Amino acid sequence: MKKKIVVGITGASGTIYGLRLLEALAADPDVETHLVMSPWAKENLAVEATGYTEKEVKALADVVYDDRDLGASIASGSFQHDGMVIVPASMKTVAAIATGLADNLIARAADVTLKERRPLLLVPRESPFNQIHLENMLKLSRMGVEIIPPIPAFYNQPQTIDDLIDHNTMKLLDHLHLKNDYSKRWQGLAAAKQAARREVSHG
């Protein structure tokens, strides 16, 4: 049976993180993806020059919902899934989830995910965080929500922006318990030093 993963993309900067996760899930024949995009997420497709049209993004998912449709299947706890990821997650969405304000489908689906005690992953995109942001994320973390900000790693010798995005995608897939080789993993200090020496000599 396929794993069902719900993906919410909000209007925070970093739409490409959501798109790359959709690409990875679409490439996995054992995954069924359910997608919701906020209105500002759709605007960011053009603003951030992702190269994707809204139609192309929707084609990456198996099922697509309107963010205003609070009668959608994923708005009910009776819809069983294997995890929800909100990537990127705006601070407005984080606040809505933390306070139970299910005023759109992304927030409602997250609220349902929480009450049914299913995995919920948030990829918050804001900098710097103020006290409200931090308190909301701490509150959600204490409820079992996984807070996975897109912080780049450099031990894997990233060469492009794609390398940085792929590393975050790997982390999300790992936390969804989906096997993947989306990015280089830590192989130990000796291997890291050897790779660094190779980069210097080739440079």
**What confidence tens digit (pLDDT) does each residue in 75-127 have?**
999 999 999 999 999 999 999 999 999 999 999 999 999 999 999 999 999 99
Q: 78 labelled as ligand-binding?
A: no
Q: Kind of pairing, strands 84-89 and 120-124?
A: parallel
Q: Measured between alpha carbons, how far is residue 48 from residues 55, 65, 128, 167 in Å?
A: 16, 23, 20, 20
pLDDT computed for residue 99 by the predictor: 98
Q: 11 labelled as ligand-binding?
A: yes
Q: 12 labelled as ligand-binding?
A: yes
> Cα separation of 85 and 46, whole Å?
22
Q: 90 labelled as ligand-binding?
A: yes
pLDDT computed for residue 202 by the predictor: 65
* pLDDT greater than 80 at residue 186: no
Domains for the chain: give ranges and CATH numbers: 3-202 (3.40.50.1950)
Q: 91 labelled as ligand-binding?
A: yes
Q: 38 labelled as ligand-binding?
A: yes
**What confidence tens digit (pLDDT) does each residue in 122-176 have?**
999 999 999 999 999 999 999 999 999 999 989 888 999 999 999 999 999 999 9
> Cα separation of 171 and 96, whole Å?
24
Q: 92 labelled as ligand-binding?
A: yes
